[in-house]
Chain A
Amino acid sequence: MMLKKISIKYSLIAFAVLSLLHSSCNKALDVASVQVSSEERHWQSISDTKAALLGLYGLLRSAMVDNNAHWMYGELRSGDFAAYSRPELTALIHNDLNKSYTLLENLSNWRRFYAVINATSLFIERAPEVLQQDRRYTQQNLKLDIAQARAIRAFTYFYMVRIWGDVPLITSSFDNGKFPEFSRTDYRLVLKFAEDELTEAVEDLPFRYGVDPQLYYGSMTGTWQKVLFNKITAYAILSHLAAYQGKYIDVASYTEFIFDNYTQSSIQYTTDIKPSSASEPGLTGYYGIFSNNYTRGQVLSLSSAYVYGEATASGHIEQLTLASPFINRTNPDIYVSKDTINKLYTEEKDRRFGIDRTNPEKPLYRENFFYNYTNEIPVFAKINVVRDGGSDGNYAVFGSNLVFTRLEELILLRAETMAVLRQYVSAIEYLNIVKTMRNTAPYQLSDMDTKPLIDEIFEERRRELIGEGWRFHDLIRLNRIKPMNADIVSLLEQGGNYWPISYQVLENNKQLKQNDFWK
């Protein structure tokens, strides 16, 4: 009897425990992921917009550096570099873009660029929500953010058009689990959209962010001028957009704005070839424009600073070009042959590369761009930022900025524009700014008969911008202005200047058709 009573008590307790558990269990099952942030927790505060905005730059960087895409598209293809032994790079250099190499298939895939497009559209759609949620987030801040997002999106479209031609123009994020198939939009419409977006964004974009006392996301100009898209950036993109379409009158007005205003963004010419301190704006070396130690503003450059742990072994041209003695590697993947160097840099006083043969027994080399010229395989050392740019090449991760454009590039574009518009005097003037800076002989009006001006401008671009991802795009522009390279002309005629679209992309969207040339 006693036992029974106890038992009943226990069973009651047991049931109580059971029922208690059941009621509390639903709460116990609400475990938020710590790996990711959910829809409810995002777009709530100013830190969300900051992270989302910088995420856009990060995605853009990842699209441009994955497989070293920026250099593969712009520098290697038909360019001045030769592959040491990687057969897929040889194929790429020779325009055999459909050979069966994983690298080429991956480079044909535009997914990462569309991730930028999607993220920017999403930002534009969702960032205004934060205004309601967080009072620290101001209308002004939002305006700056949206303008950047639009500029990034426009730049990405422009970048893609250069590579693939017609690409689907998608201007909203969808972001609802629906993924409609879009067909390719005529590239002119895509560029039109980009141009319109930029024209509007440029109104809101500042020359500088966080100008004292108005901080931008808690930081001052010194921080932001090295990384964020500013007014000059947008004009630079607009200039290239117009130049790509041959609208040189537009280029003239856009570049005019740039050269009237660039100082407002703390941008300077890299007058020094290899500065020895941060006070001298320069091109190469520890304090050069490719290094995070460069303190001036930028036109359009993407950072991978070693100090922030973003220096990586891949995604930098150094991965392809550097070798001993800079890093522990016998031979680089790609190099500029001695023949090409000799052909390009003919002036002995050229600070970029020159051979001083005053003493023919023992010539002196200016090796800022090419090191170990005496070797069979010279090393391209113009962009050489191992870690933070110091001389220790033991641990070869690279912290160089991806400099899309800088003032010298833009002044040469302006020179090109003036030349096309037949304003030869000012064209020569702009060209000579670079020539003088690099300690080479100025171009004279009288030279026009022997060396056509337009050729010379592009040759200067080739010398100045080598390794910065311009060569192939320059060839395209040059041959549109003045057909001179039969291979490129034939590519242009057949649409072979574009890349094939990756097999996987075509598989995922049946509306897409392969570029005719690569069918």
Chain B
Amino acid sequence: MIINLIKSNSLRIIHRCLMREGWNVLVLCVLTIPSLTYASRFSETYAVKMSREGDNKPTFTRRAKLDQTIIFQDTTAEISDEAKAKINNLNRLLLTADSVDLTSVKNNPYLSVGDYLVGQSAGVYVQNPTAEPGTYQNILLRGLSSPQFNNRDITNNQAVVYVNGIPMGQENNFAYDIQRYDYNRIGPATDYLSSIDLSAIKSIEIIKDPIRLAELGPLASNGVIWITTHGGRSGKRQISVNGYYGFNTKPVVTPYNAQYEDLFRKNFYSKYGTIDDVLKYPGYLADSTNLNYYGNADWSDLYYSTSSLYSLDMMLNGGTDRANFGFFGSHTRNAISSDDADLQRYNVLININMLPFEWFKVSTYLNGRRLDRGRNRNLRDRYAEMAYLPDLSTPLSPNKEVYQKYIDHYKREVVDDNVNTNFQGNLNLSLDILKELNFTTSFSVDYNEGVRDLFYPSTLMETINYMSTYYGYTQRFVFSNRLSYNKLLENDHLFKATIGSDYSEDVYRYNYARAYDGPNDYIKLNVVEGNSDYADYLQPKGGLRVLRWNNKEQFHLHSLYSKFDYAIKDLVDLEAVLRWDGSSTVQRDSRWLFTPGASARWHIDKNFGLANLFNVKLAYSRIGKPVYNSRYATGPQYAANLGWTEDPTVSSYYGFAGISRDYSFGWTGYNLKWAYSDKLELAINNSFLKNRLTTVVAFYQTDDKDQIVLAPVPSEFGYVGQYKNGLTVRNQGVDISANAIVSPAKENALGWTVGLNLNVNSNKVTALPEGLQELKIGANKLKVGEAVDNFWLLENQGIYTASAQIPSGLTNNGVAFAVGDANWVDQNKDKAISEDDKVFKGRFTPKFFGGFNNTLTYKGVDLHLAFTYALGHKALNQRASNRYDFINNESKNSIHGIREIFQWQQDVDISKYPYYNVWSGTAPYRLDQDLFLEDASYLKLRSLSMGYDLSKLSSIVSLAPTVRRAYVYLTANNLFTVTKFSGNDPELVNFNGIYDGYGLPLTKTFTLGLKLDL
């Protein structure tokens, strides 16, 4: 069995090792053997000894259960195996223990890269604010490297995904500049990372090792998800077909109608309301005979409906020793039971590899994808997109009939097309100039285009209609060259040197147009006059007033690097990386950054002849952090920014562009430099009990230094602040992963493997610009020595129920406290509750997180259980705060005063909060207090799947002998969650730790699938 597996999966890796050496040398190969039987991954180390010339038969010096003759008996081909291997793998990196075991993951209907990783590898934390398919996720490796208080901040923290060596461009966050609210980015706002099909993926590796990141350069500074797809393969043509069908179930909710709301509010009116307040009681609640509100609250029958999801893909590969190809095509629909949200995906991938000469390889990979997203119908998202708030005093009716009309109307009239088209591809040339000298050149392109056409009819929106169109793209090309030299020195020392150059150009662009109150509801698009002969060429038809915005950003990065490897026999490996990176987004005089890195690995097991694996690696590197925004590089600058808080996009005065220093952005001076990341890691790889238990323990410390932040300046110069280098965030922690074969798979016996991964992470701010000790950013604060993701809140001690309880003279910014107000701790004892009394109350990223994966096998049946957990973090319940603060929110007609249809349900635990005086000038239900802070720790059974390979049945074997595999499986997702969190789900929290109740629920999904290899 094992022999077969090695033959099919790992032979190429051995070949590669041999190819690289070709001499009488001890080679160390770490083989990762994905196995159906041992569904959990395990690693073994083999030493392969190869004689100097002629005799191609290697000898394995470790107790590998390999049949050497099987591996190397097939040497009759015209060209050498090492040459053949060149065109049989798209991955140029060796896989290490940080790769994800995809065998069990592939049984799940997961959509986005983040989903594939949750709980699968130590140190990977995925933020997922909503279950709506295709929305943005944030993948964090080893914690937050910079503050993350807004949606736009995730760009600074997110790990970069490389697909077949191509770094995927992230959407630039500059589009948020023209948005009053950042709930959604304008445009389709579809996560690019949901375009990659899981079936097409051959391997995923999480790169955290400082030296390997240093080799990849600045784009990799937040860590890397290294994805390799299936590709061409020499040999007989093979076809694989995968498919699944499943459904997402409805959540269990407790809807309510106006009567419940009325009773809820009466608590406040009876205690604190004046007659005037009672007179202004909202109309829809005041009339209890109004059946629209006081009737049945059965909206949920329409809002939630079981939705189906499916996927079908086909993979084909084959070819000769000199040329091969791989093809992959798929169609996927993912959907969720809430609000008809779904995503459809089409994916086509082609890989062609050629070997015209044994020393010359040409290979190309092309991947086209299309995403079509059906979005939610939230009012908040709609009004934020429109940048216009109508009268919000009357909410949608909770009644099914009324809501049905609304939905029908919506479906009939609204246009909301969200299409993303992606293209990714590269062309690689590899030349063996000399036996020791190789030159590789590659050209890669990554392009992601988003289009959104939006139309809301006048009947939905007071009496105006709204349309907007968005077209934007992210485009990156990378031109890489590398020259590497391998030399085996005397006494079995190996020397390797690589020099290379990467040049990449990113272009980010959008064109956005918005129009209100078109002539009628039949013209749903902004149609312009297309004939250039007419005077109104390109003018909108129908007297539409179209407001337009467009913007463009460019980021060019040029890197020169060299890498040196030195191996002292098989005992010690030394590596060093030196790089020079030049960025167009750093000011000219400090544009180039030199960063070094070095590592050493000591194979203790070899040194002392131990039976189990034992090696230690210490690595350090410095990597520049990229900036995707040209504004810091510009230095002092002028912009057309004449807007104000609620209308930030005004840029002209009396129709003339007005230009000034960008006071609302902040002062950008000279001397802004690169920020960089200092990474240090000590990794210990062990195995025990004859390799039945393997462990990796990696201690790390990452200092993200000299980052640019907005530092305060006196307001008397008009600026909101000035940009300064100097923010340093330190992350410390340990990644632990352990894989154990509890009982090996045997005929007629239960096989059980366990994989546990855990990350313990802590972060803190270690420096701020200009020696500051504290820095306020909006409602948050950074303080040296404190975590970067701390909640900064007032401490709530309950309610003042009698005037005697109120300390005499206690005020809130000069307003005296009264009965019914919140009792906040006056931390500095100055008799005034103010910002100075806020304290740090906990972090929003977890201290401990990871996964616990089990695979059980018995007689060809396998069962996978994937648990994931996160502990020790908090979430701020804004949903509860908004619900209670109804007087302020509704009277202001603010965006917080919007009431969605799904908020007609009991989604707030009303036993947790006291009844304060909602009219009080002290704002007792303000969000920035620990009353709304909750423990968001959880444990989830994320996936349970069971499968059986039918091809093992003798009947199938005799009927269809060509079937290599016919695996049927049944999977259930989101089966249960253990948590103390009072909201819907502790995972559905925004990137900044605020829970607003807008996340569509992660409900149970059941799928049935078949994987067929022919």
Query: Which residues does A use to contact B, with CB under 8 Å?
Result: 3-4, 7-8, 10-11, 14-15, 17-18, 21-22, 25-26, 28-39, 42, 48, 50-52, 54-59, 61-62, 65-67, 84-88, 91, 96, 98-101, 106, 109-112, 114-119, 122, 168, 170, 173-175, 177, 179-182, 223, 226-227, 303, 305-310, 312-315, 328-331, 333, 392, 394-395, 397, 502-505, 507-509, 518
Give chain B residues whose Cβ lies under 8 Å from the Cβ of A106.
645
Give chain A residues whose Cβ lies under 8 Å from the Cβ of B266.
none
Give chain A residues whose Cβ lies under 8 Å from the Cβ of B532.
none
Report which of B555, B588, B656, B712 forms a contact with A507, defined as CB distance below 8 A: B712
Residue of A56, A179, A223 with most partner-chain B CB within 10 A? A179
A58 contacts B645, C-beta separation under 8 Å = no
B814 contacts A518, C-beta separation under 8 Å = yes
B433 contacts A227, C-beta separation under 8 Å = no
| Docked pose: A333 CA to B389 CA in angstroms | 14
Residue of B463, B653, B655 with most partner-chain A CB within 10 A? B653
Give chain A residues whose Cβ lies under 8 Å from the Cβ of B553.
33-35
| Docked pose: A195 CA to B844 CA in angstroms | 54
A110 contacts B715, C-beta separation under 8 Å = yes
B503 contacts A28, C-beta separation under 8 Å = yes
27 of the cross-chain contacts (CB-CB < 8 Å) are A3-B359, A10-B439, A11-B483, A33-B634, A34-B553, A34-B554, A34-B630, A36-B630, A36-B637, A36-B638, A39-B636, A42-B659, A61-B653, A85-B891, A86-B891, A100-B813, A117-B716, A175-B636, A303-B654, A308-B655, A309-B547, A310-B650, A310-B655, A313-B388, A394-B517, A395-B464, A507-B776
B647 at the interface (CB under 8 A from A): yes
Q: Contact flags (1/0) for B651-679 with A, using CB distance below 8 Å?
A: 01111111111111001011000000000
Give chain A residues whose Cβ lies under 8 Å from the Cβ of B667.
177, 179
Given A36-B662, A58-B642, A99-B813: A10 touches B431 (CB 8 Å cut-off) = yes
Give chain A residues whose Cβ lies under 8 Å from the Cβ of B669.
177
B584 contacts A51, C-beta separation under 8 Å = no
Give chain B residues whose Cβ lies under 8 Å from the Cβ of A66.
644-646
B504 to chain A, nearest CB (A): 10
Q: Contact flags (1/0) for B350-381 with A, using CB distance below 8 Å?
A: 00000000010000000000000000000000
| Docked pose: A48 CA to B715 CA in angstroms | 26
Residue of B388, B633, B716 with most partner-chain A CB within 10 A? B716
A508 contacts B635, C-beta separation under 8 Å = no
Q: Which of B143-151, B299-307, B918-926 contacts A (4 or more CB under 8 A)?
A: B918-926
Q: Specify the chain A residue showing the minimal Cβ separation from B499.
A: A18
B645 contacts A118, C-beta separation under 8 Å = no
Q: Specify the chain B residue showing the minimal Cβ separation from A41.
A: B638
Give chain A residues whose Cβ lies under 8 Å from the Cβ of B431.
7, 10, 14
| Docked pose: A175 CA to B483 CA in angstroms | 48
Q: Contact flags (1/0) for B456-470 with A, using CB distance below 8 Å?
A: 001000111000000
| Docked pose: A181 CA to B717 CA in angstroms | 10
B545 at the interface (CB under 8 A from A): yes
B174 contacts A55, C-beta separation under 8 Å = no
| Docked pose: A55 CA to B655 CA in angstroms | 11
Residue of A62, A122, A306 with most partner-chain B CB within 10 A? A62
Give chain A residues whose Cβ lies under 8 Å from the Cβ of B922.
99-100
A8 contacts B280, C-beta separation under 8 Å = no
B749 at the interface (CB under 8 A from A): no
A109 to chain B, nearest CB (A): 7
B652 contacts A22, C-beta separation under 8 Å = no
A28 contacts B556, C-beta separation under 8 Å = yes
Chain B interface size range: 35 or more
B17 at the interface (CB under 8 A from A): no
Interface residues of B in 883-930 (CB under 8 A from A): 887-888, 891-893, 919, 921-923, 926
Report which of B633, B647, B663 forms a contact with A33, defined as CB distance below 8 A: B633
Give chain B residues whose Cβ lies under 8 Å from the Cβ of A55.
640, 642, 653, 658-660
B585 to chain A, nearest CB (A): 8
B1004 to chain A, nearest CB (A): 41
Q: Specify the chain A residue showing the minimal Cβ separation from B555.
A: A31
A329 contacts B391, C-beta separation under 8 Å = yes
Give chain A residues whose Cβ lies under 8 Å from the Cβ of B660.
52, 55-56, 58-59, 115, 119
B520 at the interface (CB under 8 A from A): no
A302 to chain B, nearest CB (A): 8
A309 contacts B652, C-beta separation under 8 Å = yes
Q: Specify the chain A residue showing the minimal Cβ separation from B437.
A: A11
Give chain B residues whose Cβ lies under 8 Å from the Cβ of A312.
646-647, 650
Q: Specify the chain A residue showing the minimal Cβ separation from B560.
A: A22
Given A11-B439, A315-B647: A114 touches B717 (CB 8 Å cut-off) = yes
Q: Specify the chain A residue showing the minimal Cβ separation from B440.
A: A14
Q: Contact flags (1/0) for B599-643 with A, using CB distance below 8 Å?
A: 000000000000000000000000000000011011111111011
Given A39-B637, A168-B716: A226 touches B654 (CB 8 Å cut-off) = yes
Q: Specify the chain A residue showing the minimal Cβ separation from B277.
A: A85
A174 contacts B923, C-beta separation under 8 Å = no
B375 to chain A, nearest CB (A): 23
B556 contacts A29, C-beta separation under 8 Å = yes
A119 contacts B661, C-beta separation under 8 Å = yes
Give chain A residues whose Cβ lies under 8 Å from the Cβ of B560.
22
A59 contacts B642, C-beta separation under 8 Å = yes
A58 contacts B647, C-beta separation under 8 Å = no
Residue of B464, B647, B834 with most partner-chain A CB within 10 A? B647
| Docked pose: A515 CA to B433 CA in angstroms | 79
A87 contacts B887, C-beta separation under 8 Å = yes
B852 to chain A, nearest CB (A): 45
Q: Contact flags (1/0) for B559-597 with A, using CB distance below 8 Å?
A: 010000000000000000000001111001001000000
A118 contacts B661, C-beta separation under 8 Å = yes
| Docked pose: A506 CA to B563 CA in angstroms | 53
A-B interface, 10 closest residue pairs, ranked by CB to CB distance from nearest? A115-B718, A58-B642, A308-B655, A55-B658, A98-B814, A314-B646, A177-B669, A33-B630, A66-B644, A58-B658
B718 contacts A177, C-beta separation under 8 Å = no
| Docked pose: A101 CA to B814 CA in angstroms | 12
Give chain B residues whose Cβ lies under 8 Å from the Cβ of A52.
638, 658-660
| Docked pose: A376 CA to B926 CA in angstroms | 32
| Docked pose: A10 CA to B430 CA in angstroms | 11
Besides the contacts A59-B663, A314-B644, what 12 more A-B pairs have beta carbons closer than 8 Å?
A10-B439, A17-B481, A21-B479, A29-B558, A34-B630, A87-B888, A98-B813, A109-B715, A115-B661, A179-B713, A227-B653, A310-B655
